[in-house]
Amino acid sequence: MKLPIEFSKKYEKILKSDFQRFVETFDEIPISAFRVNPLKKIEVEAEKIEDSDFGYYGKISGKSKEFLVGEIYSQEPAAQMVGQIARPEQDMRVLDLCAAPGGKSSHLLSYLGNTGLLVSNDISTKRSKILVENLERWGNRNNIILNESPDKLADVFSAFFDMIVIDAPCSGEGMFRKDPDAMSYWSPKYVEECVSRQKKILSEAMKMLAPTGVIVYSTCTWSPEEDEEMVAWLLNEYPNLALEFEKKYWPFEFKGEGQFLARFRNNDDSLVKKSKFRMVKSNLNSEQLKLWKVFRTRSLNFEPKGILQAFGDNLFLLPESLPDLSKLRIARNGLHIGVFKKNRFEPSYALGIALNKNDSKQEIELTDEEVIGYAKGNPIIKDKNLPNGWTHLLSDGHGFGFSKYVDGMLKNNYPKGLRIHG
């Protein structure tokens, strides 16, 4: 691979005797890996990634049953270290500030389970749509997805989060092997632009950090200006921050792409001012509440925990203790429960994939072949002695949506935008 001349000169000076090993890695095949979803436990036969709770080496297909059901997620090994170092505790309030396409958010959710809150944000509207799809498939019930700039978030979430993860926009040097096109926009000037952007993001993030909160800062670059120098800048700007961890992943030392990680803890509540929040409340009218209760009583074995809110005809379940989000651009306001239609309520794919075995009163287990066929848009013949009505689809006991069972046939309710082809 032909590297930019200025890039080579820079790292020859930095790496010295390790430079030749560094250069040789760019001609090697990129390393593929994946993580398993602890909410949907499966057995896998693959090499475990060292120091990883959920990660394995290997390539997965986006058309496989395991991917479609949300049992696994493709993510290269070095990128997995961000969530691994973060390791939020259950019941924490967590912000993934630059979240698309969803690898780090799904990793954070793996630790939170269905407790606490994860706010996943991406400023790009296009990327936030991909983020919605990936996190919906993961199946958690405690996640909202926003599409905002950091300063707008800071106006709403002042001193709110116990942990903030910032996988900052960067010069992308660590992705050169995986994505050679990234070299086309690399230059020393571009590194400087990234540094300026990163400082602005970190400054807004600090406004949202709780008094004893944790910040995890990461980049997929080796640039000292964006890594070690950014750490030094942050510690200088906020003297009461303590650096807990700092590490750089070089491809000649680690089986994966490039990554930098630093973890800080806020040790002074004078840095941030506690705010009182106007919390979100349910807004269902009496007719909507009645239709929801009819469905819940007939179809579910439990009462979902959270705040029910209607947006038009759509019903969402929001995590508790949320501030008012009306001033923010929302990509997905919690778990999409379903849709109100004339005199009835229809459950969503998202609800079905977030539930597991025994959560619903009527369930049908699908074979792997039926899962693939259903994802292609096909109905399924299941001649069982069941009453007609909404039925929870399962794959190895894990939810895969709801279908209307009518006289031995499961009608296809798989979202058209998610269907696979071929």
Tell me the binding residues for S-adenosyl-L-methionine: 98-104, 122, 167
Residues in CB range of 413: below 8 A, 6 or more apart? 349, 401, 402, 403, 404
The residues assigned a catalytic role are 220
Chain-centre distance for alpha carbon 373: 27
Sign of CA dihedral 250, 254, 257, 260: negative
Distance CA 405, CA 395 (A): 17
What is the 3-class SS of the chain, one letter each residue?
Answer: CCCCHHHHHHHHHHHHHHHHHHHHHHHCCCCCEEEECHHHCCCCCCCECCCCCCEEECCCCCCCHHHHCCCEEECCHHHHHHHHHHCCCCCCEEEECCCCCCHHHHHHHHHHCCCCEEEEECCCHHHHHHHHHHHHHHCCCCEEEECCCHHHHHHHCCCCEEEEEEECCCCCHHHCCCCHHHHHHCCHHHHHHHHHHHHHHHHHHHHHEEEEEEEEEEECCCCCCCCHHHHHHHHHHCCCEEEEEEEEECCCCCCCCCEEEEEEEECCCCCCCCCCCCECCCCCCHHHHHHHHHHHHHHECCCCCCEEEEECCEEEEECCCCECCCCCCEEECCEEEEEEECCEEEECHHHHHHCECCCECCEEECCHHHHHHHHCCCCEECCCCCCCEEEEEEECCEEEEEEEEECCEECCCCCHHHCCCC
| Residues making up the chain, counted from first to last | 422
